[in-house]
Amino acid sequence: MPAASLRIERDYTIGTVDPRLYGGFAEHLGRCIYEGIWEPDHPTADAHGFRGDVLALVRELDLPVMRYPGGNFVSGYSWEDGVGPREQRPVRQELAWKSREPNWVGTNEFVDWCRLAGTAPMLAVNLGTRGPEDARRLVEYCNHPSGTQLSDLRRSHGWEQPHGVKLWCLGNEMDGPWQMGHKTAQEYGRAACEAAKLMKWTDPSLELVVCGSSHRGMPTFGHWEREVLDHTFDQVEYVSIHTYLGNQAGDTASFLAKPDAMGRFIDEVVATVDHVAACRRSRKRIQLSFDEWNVWYHSHDDRRQRRIEDWAIAPPILEDHYNVEDALVVGGMLIELLNHCDRVKIACLAQVVNVIAPILTARGGAAWRQTIFHPLAQASRWARGEVLRGLLRCPTYDCAEQAGTPLLTAAAVLDPASGEVTVLALHRGLTEPLTLRIDARGCGDLQPIAAWVLRDDDLLAVNTAAQPDRVAPQPAALPVSQDGLLQVELPPASWNVLRFRR
């Protein structure tokens, strides 16, 4: 049986996990908002129309920030359409997703939902078809207490207190030709700089995220970040970064190797933004907001295959039904985020419900946890604190994605308050178990307190309304002490959570 070793020391840390690493994302897209978050005639809906069953599952994930309202949607959005009396709101042709947008939910309702879900809104402004002045007006509407036209408009709409939204995105994926109002780096850099200035003059407490590259394969990647930051370096705190992984080729060994590329992408973006800082002789460090990440490929062909009608309200688009191997990859992506927590301060799983999401709903019916729900819920619950710089030794395997892929990928997180250590480990071998020996002598006398494993003989198994818990973590055998090390056997193709207490 192959064996791996992981050595951790109390004082060798990568950084502290910013809780916002466990963020989510809700876009006006498909059935995310309507039939996901809001469905007034659902049996669990509250007086505002919010589904109680979905709220309970979102609370279980404990996501400290939620990005809204897009995504591609935001680049054609007029926020004014979504405020004021609901019966007066316009129904619009929504060009990003070829749907009809009824504006039944807008900024105020979303902020209310966030409070109920125990999360904080992270709002994006439209720098596609609109610009700095509209962005500034939205900040005034949301955050100014009273006594100005737009703050008093908010009050007249029934929200007396300012929303106090701190975190804002300056547009979305502006480097992509698919984006409404797509711009060159020069055009976007200028617009983002002016928007940022006006937004911060309106509310100096804001933190701003400027658009980086939509993905690593963009032809402008690297140059885009440099040029955009040449314009916005002094105005922003974060640069955004997005990645979606998929198994289009049906090659599981390669799919499981893909999260490592996410880590390399982060390193490249860090190098690029620090290059801009160096050119300016600046000690300021632009941090990363990984505000869209997930597995996404099952639904790529949906519009054609499922004959989804154009210009429908809340059509069932981008509804990936996630299987076991998707959950393993999401686990691997979480490990990469944790092991880069010194520079990635915000990350949003895209998205939260129905649209490439950990939660699925049936209209008028159940809400259930998809397979990918579980690694996120476990990491969000247990992997908070200081990430330890583990020394991992393990055999490798070759696959089309990457020769020499380590069989194991892992992150170890210490909660300084309790002294508890959580190890998240993805075993990517498909046939044999792996022996993992953890040398935690540098962390004191660690005793195993709990272990869970997510695996299945059928890597394509999914959860459904009829079988919502078909795939879920199961309690596993605790590591045993042997020669001063903690030893455990990890089954093939498994996501493992091991918890220890001093």
Please identify, among the stretches 68-76, 135-143, 224-232, 297-305, the one whose residues bind ligand AHR according to the rule CB under 6 A. 68-76
Q: Please report how close the Cβ of residue 242 comes to ligand AHR at its closest, in angstroms.
A: 6
C-alpha–C-alpha distance, residues 129 and 407, integer Å: 46
Number of residues in the chain: 502
Closest CB to ligand AHR among residues 101, 292 = 292
Answer yes or no whether residue 70 interacts with ligand AHR by CB under 6 A.
yes
C-alpha–C-alpha distance, residues 97 and 101, integer Å: 10
Please identify, among the stretches 50-58, 69-77, 221-229, 268-276, the one whose residues bind ligand AHR according to the rule CB under 6 A. 69-77
Closest CB to ligand AHR among residues 241, 379 = 241
Answer yes or no whether residue 80 interacts with ligand AHR by CB under 6 A.
no
C-alpha–C-alpha distance, residues 148 and 131, integer Å: 21
Q: Please report how close the Cβ of residue 31 comes to ligand AHR at its closest, in angstroms.
A: 13
| 184, two tokens | 């060159």
Examine the residue annotation and report whether 173 is marked as an active-site residue of this protein. yes
Closest CB to ligand AHR among residues 32, 257 = 32
**For ligand AHR, how many residues bind (rule: CB under 6 A)?**
9
Q: Please report how close the Cβ of residue 355 comes to ligand AHR at its closest, in angstroms.
A: 7
Q: Catalytic: which of 173, 237, 319, 420?
A: 173
Please identify, among the stretches 15-23, 67-75, 386-394, 473-481, the one whose residues bind ligand AHR according to the rule CB under 6 A. 67-75
Closest-by-Cβ residue to ligand AHR is 71
Closest CA to 406 of 436, 432, 429: 429
Closest CB to ligand AHR among residues 53, 173 = 173
Beta bridge partners of 462: 323
Closest CB to ligand AHR among residues 202, 354 = 354
The angle subtended at Cα 394 by Cα 391 and Cα 397, nearest 5°, is: 135
Contact between 239 and 266 under an 8 Å Cβ cutoff? The reply is no
Answer yes or no whether residue 320 interacts with ligand AHR by CB under 6 A.
no
Give the amino acid at 320: D
Q: Please report how close the Cβ of residue 127 comes to ligand AHR at its closest, in angstroms.
A: 13
Contact between 28 and 70 under an 8 Å Cβ cutoff? The reply is yes
Please identify, among the stretches 64-72, 86-94, 158-166, 200-208, the one whose residues bind ligand AHR according to the rule CB under 6 A. 64-72
Site string for ligand AHR, 87-126 (x = CB under 6 A): ----------------------------------------
Contacts 24+ apart (CB under 8 A), 157-164: 157/83, 157/84, 157/108, 158/108, 159/108, 159/111, 163/107, 163/108, 163/111, 163/121
Show Cβ contacts of residue 24 under 8 Å, excluding neighbours closer than 6 positions. Answer: 58, 61, 63, 65, 66, 67, 119, 348, 349, 351, 352
Closest CB to ligand AHR among residues 273, 349 = 349
Examine the residue annotation and report whether 292 is marked as an active-site residue of this protein. yes
Closest CB to ligand AHR among residues 72, 339 = 72
Q: Please report how close the Cβ of residue 347 comes to ligand AHR at its closest, in angstroms.
A: 14
First to last CA, the chain: 29
Answer yes or no whether residue 72 interacts with ligand AHR by CB under 6 A.
yes
C-alpha–C-alpha distance, residues 476 and 179, integer Å: 46
Beta bridge partners of 287: 238
Residue of the chain from 18, 27, 80, 237 that contacts ligand AHR (CB under 6 A)? 27
Q: Please report how close the Cβ of residue 314 comes to ligand AHR at its closest, in angstroms.
A: 15
Q: Please report how close the Cβ of residue 193 comes to ligand AHR at its closest, in angstroms.
A: 21
Q: Please report how close the Cβ of residue 263 comes to ligand AHR at its closest, in angstroms.
A: 21
Give the phi and the psi of residue 144 in degrees, each rounded to 5. -75, 135
Q: Please report how close the Cβ of residue 210 comes to ligand AHR at its closest, in angstroms.
A: 15
Question: Does residue 235 have a cis peptide bond before it, meaning omega lies within 30 degrees of 0?
Answer: no
Beta carbons within 10 angstroms of residue 452's beta carbon: 17
Answer yes or no whether residue 173 interacts with ligand AHR by CB under 6 A.
yes
Q: Catalytic: which of 292, 336, 386, 420?
A: 292
Residue of the chain from 292, 320, 420, 456 that contacts ligand AHR (CB under 6 A)? 292
Closest CB to ligand AHR among residues 70, 128 = 70
Answer yes or no whether residue 71 interacts with ligand AHR by CB under 6 A.
yes
Cα separation values, 475 from 99, 147, 454, 480, 481, Å:
44, 57, 9, 15, 19
Site for ligand AHR in 348-407 (CB under 6 A): 350-351
C-alpha–C-alpha distance, residues 208 and 233, integer Å: 11
Closest CB to ligand AHR among residues 30, 132 = 30
Torsion angle in degrees (nearest 10) through CA of 210, 213, 219, 222 = 70
Give the amino acid at 170: L
Give the amino acid at 78: S
Binding site residues, ligand AHR, CB under 6 A: 27, 70-72, 172-173, 292, 350-351
Q: Which are the catalytic amino acids?
A: 173, 292
